[in-house]
Amino acid sequence: MRHKAIAIIGGSGFIGSHLVNALVDMGKDVRIATRRRYNARHLTILPIDVIETDVFDPVQLARFVEGADCVINLVAILNSKRGTPYGREFARTHVELPTRIVAACEGKGVHRLIHISALGANPNGPSMYSRSKGDGEKAVHAANVAWTIFRPSVVFGPEDQFLNKFAFLQRTFPVLPLAMPDAKFQPVYVDDVAKAIVNVLDLDAASGQTYELGGPTVYTLEDLVTYCGDVIGKHARIIRLPEALARLQALTFEMAPGEPVISRDNLDSMKVDNVLSGPLAPELGIEPVAIETIAPVYLTGASTRSRFDTFRATAGR
Ligand SMILES: NC(=O)c1ccc[n+]([C@@H]2O[C@H](COP(=O)([O-])OP(=O)(O)OC[C@H]3O[C@@H](n4cnc5c(N)ncnc54)[C@H](OP(=O)(O)O)[C@@H]3O)[C@@H](O)[C@H]2O)c1
C-alpha cells in the first residue's frame, strides 16, 4: 500500500524536521500540526502544509488527520512535574495524546499510524518518562489501525540537545560534575532514524511491529563527554558524582527556572542501559552511521549552517 498524504504531529522538532525533509524528497504530501506556526518556521520553505492545531482538542485533531493515509506522532517531553504515576505533563503528552490520536485515526478512517516512542519504554520502568512512554505504547497496541512503533536510543545530529550540550558545557566550564557516568547509550544518527521510518512507511509487514533504533557503538556517558571534549579540543575536568550528590544536583536544576539540564527523573531513566536488545531489523534498511563520522562536522562548526538555516537563507529570511 502506498501512503501519499502524511499528517505529522510534532513534525517541527529535531527528528520531525529531518523526517519531513525525507518525506518531501520522496514526493509525499506532508502536513504538520504545530502549536505555533513560528515553531515550524524553519520548515515553511518546504512544500508542506503547516497547520496551527491544538492536538489535545478532539475536534481540531480529527480535522487535522482527516484525509491522511498515515499519521506520525513525534510529540514528547523530557520532564514533567510530579502529580500522577507519571507526572502530570507526561500523562497528558505520552499517554493521553497517543490515545486521542488513535481515536482520531479510527474515527476518520486513517489506517496507518507510526508512533515514535523511546528505548526503555516500559509501564514498569524506573522513571516517570519510561513508564509514561510504555503506557503510550499500550494505547497504540490497542489501535484498530496498522501501527508501527519506533524506539530510538538517544539521537544525535546537528541540532541535537545531547552532544551539543556536552560540547557547550566544556567550552564554558573548566569542571563538569557528571551524574551517572557509567550509563550506557547507543546513539543513532537523526537521518538514520528518518530513513528507517520512511523505509517501513509503505511496508505491510511493518504493521504491528516495534522497532528499536541504535547506532553502531555503545558508549558510556563519560566516554561521550570525553569524546566531545576531544572533538572541540577543550576538556572540562570530569568529576564523577556519587548517586546522592547527583540527585542533589538534579534537584537544584529542577528548582531553577527553565528546562533543567538534568532532572531526578532523567537520572532514574539512566538506571536502565539505553542499548538495543538485538540487531537492527533488516527491513529498516539502514547501515547506521557512526558518531565519529558526523559529530565533528557540527560540534566544531565546520558546517557553519545547519541544513535548516540553509533553507532559511535560500528563502531570504
Ligand atoms: N531526540 C532524542 O534523542 C530521542 C531519543 C529517543 C526517543 N525520542 C523520541 O522521538 C520523538 C521526537 O523527539 P524530538 O527529539 O524530535 O523531540 P522535539 O525536538 O522536542 O520535538 C517534539 C515536538 O513535539 C511538539 N510538542 C512538544 N510538546 C508538545 C505539547 N505539549 N503539545 C503539543 N505538541 C508538543 C513540538 O511541536 P510544536 O512546538 O511545533 O508544537 C515539538 O516540535 C519523541 O517521541 C521522543 O520521545 C527522541
pLDDT in tens, 78-135: 998 777 777 899 999 999 999 999 999 999 999 999 999 999 999 999 999 999 999 9
Atom of ligand 1 nearest to the CA of 116: 45
Residues with CB under 6 A from ligand 1: 10, 12-16, 34-35, 39-40, 55, 74-77, 93, 116, 118, 152, 154-155
pLDDT of 301 reads: 80
CA distance 251 to 262: 9
Q: Given ligand 1 and candidates 8, 12, 15, which is best to mutate, with the most ligand atoms within 8 Å of its CB?
A: 15
Q: Rounded to whole angstroms, how far apart are CA atoms 97 and 84? A: 16
pTM: 0.94
| The three three-digit cell numbers of residue 213, written as one number | 533504533
Query: What gap in Å lies between CA 312 and CA 159, rounded to an integer?
Result: 15
pLDDT at 67: 97
Cα 34 to middle of ligand 1, angstroms: 11
**What integer pLDDT is reported at residue 315 of this predicted model?**
38
pLDDT of the residue at 86:
78
Ligand 1 centroid from CA 152, angstroms: 13
pLDDT at res. 311: 40
Quote the CA–CA distance of 224 and 110 in Å, as a whole number: 41
- Determine the distance separating the centroid of ligand 1 and the alpha carbon of 76, expressed in angstroms: 4
The low-confidence residues of the chain, meaning pLDDT below 50, are 304-307, 309-317
pLDDT given for residue 185 in this prediction: 98
Q: Which DSSP state fits 194?
A: H
Tell how strand 70-73 and strand 5-9 pair up.
parallel
Distance 73 CA to ligand 1 centre (A): 9
The atom number, within ligand 1, closest to the CA of 162 reads 3
Closest CA to 135 of 83, 101, 99, 89: 99
Query: How many angstroms separate the CA atoms of 188 and 275, rounded?
Result: 10
> How far is the centre of ligand 1, averaged over its atoms, from the C-alpha of 236 (Å)?
30
**Mutate-to-test residue for ligand 1 from 34, 51, 75, 154, highest number of ligand atoms within 8 A of CB:** 75
User: pLDDT tens digits for 163-186?
Assistant: 999 999 999 999 999 999 999 999
Measured between alpha carbons, how far is residue 89 from residues 58, 126, 128, 148, 169 in Å?
18, 17, 10, 24, 28
Domains of the chain: 5-155+187-214+305-314 (3.40.50.720)
Of all protein residues, the one whose alpha carbon is nearest to atom 8 of ligand 1 is: 118
Which protein residue has the closest C-alpha to ligand 1 atom 29?
75
Cα-to-centroid distance, 120 and ligand 1 (Å): 17
Question: What confidence score (pLDDT) does residue 1 get?
Answer: 63
The answer for residues whose C-beta is within 8 angstroms of residue 34's C-beta and 6 or more apart is 11, 12, 40, 50, 51, 52, 53
Nearest CA to ligand 1 atom 19: 13
Cα(55) to centroid(ligand 1), Å: 13
Of residues 281, 135, 116, the one with CA closest to residue 205: 281
Residue 302: what pLDDT?
A: 60
Q: CA–CA separation, 200 vs 206, rounded Å?
A: 6
- 293: CB partners within 8 A, 6+ apart: none
Measured distance CA(13)–CA(9) in Å, rounded: 10
